[in-house]
Amino acid sequence: MKVLVTGATGYIGGRLVPELVAAGHEVRVLVRSPERLTDVPWRPQVDVAVGDLLDADATRKACRGMEVAYHLVHAMSARGAFEAREVAAAQNLADGAARGGVSRIVYLGGLHPNGVKLSRHLHSRVAVGEVFLRGVVPAIVLQAGIVIGSGSASFEMIRHLTDVLPYMPAPRWVRNRVQPIAIRDALHYLVQAASAPGDWNRTFDIGGPDVLRYGQMMNTYALEAGLRQRAIAALPVLTPWLASQWVHLVTPIPRNLAVPIIESLQHDCVVREHDIDGVIPPRAEGMLSYRQAVRLALRRESAGEVPTSWRDSSISGIASDPLPSDPEWAGTTVYTDERTIEGSDSPEEAWQRIEAIGGENGWYSFPLAWAARGWFDRLIGGVGLRRGRRSAARLHTGDALDFWRVESLDRGHSLRLRAEMRMPGRAWLELRVDPSDSGNTYRQRAVFFPRGLTGRLYWWSLAPFHGVIFTGMASRIAGNAPSRRSRTPAPNRQEGTR
């Protein structure tokens, strides 16, 4: 079958696409940033359409000639009118599917109770599902609760809360019942939904075999991780907002992601009907229990086999435009810090240090300053340094790297990072290595586009630290002694010129 997938750069979509390809489907993906697919192994096996779901014409073109369309785009945001945007995007897909001859839409929504006030996050997922169910094209709307797998935000939250806190004063929702599903089983239902017999236009609840309280999920994780059982005290004073701030501080999950997750745990979320079994039977080997799913997730993370992660998602409110080319800086205030060093190591050795930067490997200079900037970012609601990196040694375009995002990667030669920390402006960091007679020529450039007076003051307040941080970083990457100075140690200020 010819299948369109939206959200292919996300956690679920990035795992679904290779499963669909393996099942023999012809896959087209609709993405806004095709460069994020540069390094994924299945890229040569799919057709890439570039566009935004909020662009009706681009969506209609992507749907043309397709038989099934998957909608896997969902904003995890704690602020803004994201529901209106999500509904508009869903409507564009529904209209484009109708005009393009699509015979089925498959949407992964959220498991939720009836008759209660839902969180904004869950309410938006219900609203999107209703758009498809009202449309001309029949829709299978799968409703899942907590998805457990290596790299999933829900699993990461459970993991880090349990790892960090031997005793947990917790909100009342730790007593709520939830029905988690392993990522492997969720993908099974999604893949089979493309060819499921029948002209279905309805919702189907999906979940794993276990119904657990959230506190039980944390202690089951503790058993699998070789930890002692955690004492959990449910306190009525911890509101969802306060709980999300706590999660933000003690786990790598940023605040804008923690808030919607916590808000969605305020009620029991269990499967109400099992009608899906009559349409899509479970996997032949049976569904994974919660404990089996945790065990598999831990095994994959310890082996460095995490194909997608919540870290892959862009950060709401952070500008995602790529670094403008130098000629486009005319008439714009730009600050740069540029350093060039002749290193004695080979280019290959220098590149290994470039590609291993960040996460547990650190940033090669003044670790206290990096840590302080990371904690400050967490305190004001940013992602901080604890987001880390997916692999300890290898980067891919689109990867999260502490409070940066890999915007461009020419392996063995250059790396460009886009800042996702909170700051009054936009920033990039470029690292590049070339062969030279002495070994390697290492070039490093920080670029900052300030926003207003606050942005200018921000840059100049940090300029004294740049002399230490960036010089030490450049020297160590090039393979020289930390005391060796760069050719251009001073930061530059440029008013729209190069």
pLDDT tens by residue, 83-120: 888 999 999 999 999 999 999 999 999 998 888 888 88
- Please tell me the predicted confidence (pLDDT) of residue 476: 92
For residue 47, give the nearest of 58, 37, 59 by alpha carbon: 37
Which CATH number describes the domain made up of 2-308?
3.40.50.720
Does 152 score more than 60 pLDDT?
A: yes
- pTM of the model as a whole: 0.77
Q: How far apart are CA 423 and CA 428, in angstroms?
A: 12
Residues 169-217: tens digit of each pLDDT: 666 777 888 999 999 999 999 999 999 999 999 999 999 999 998 888 9
For residue 430, give the nearest of 442, 448, 446 by alpha carbon: 446
Does 351 score more than 70 pLDDT?
A: yes
pLDDT band at 239 (very low <50, low <70, confident <90, very high): low
- Please tell me the predicted confidence (pLDDT) of residue 438: 85
Mean pLDDT of 367-384: 85
Does 350 score more than 90 pLDDT?
A: yes
Domain ranges of the chain: 2-308, 326-495
Task: Specify the higher pLDDT residue, 237 or 471.
Answer: 471
pLDDT band at 78 (very low <50, low <70, confident <90, very high): very low
Q: How far apart are CA 166 and CA 225, in angstroms?
A: 13
Q: Whose structure tokens read 């305020």?
A: 266
Q: Which residues contact 496 (CB under 8 A, 6 or more apart)?
A: 329, 330, 331, 332, 333, 334
DSSP helix/strand/coil, 118: coil
**H helix or E strand, kind and range, residue 454:** helix 452-478
Per residue, the 3-state secondary structure of 333-400, as one string, reads: EEEEEEEEEEECCCHHHHHHHHHCCCHHHCCCCCHHHHHHHHHHHHHCCCCCCCCCCCCCCCCCCCCE
Cα 203 to the center of its chain, rounded Å: 26
- The CATH number of 326-495 is which of 3.20.20.100, 3.30.70.1230, 3.30.450.20, 3.30.530.20? 3.30.530.20
Least confident of 23-27, 108-112, 260-264: 260-264
Tally the C-alpha atoms within 13 A of residue 120's C-alpha that lie toward its C-beta: 16
Residues 435-483: tens digit of each pLDDT: 998 899 999 999 999 988 898 999 999 988 888 899 999 999 998 854 4
Q: How far apart are the first and last CA of the chain?
A: 52
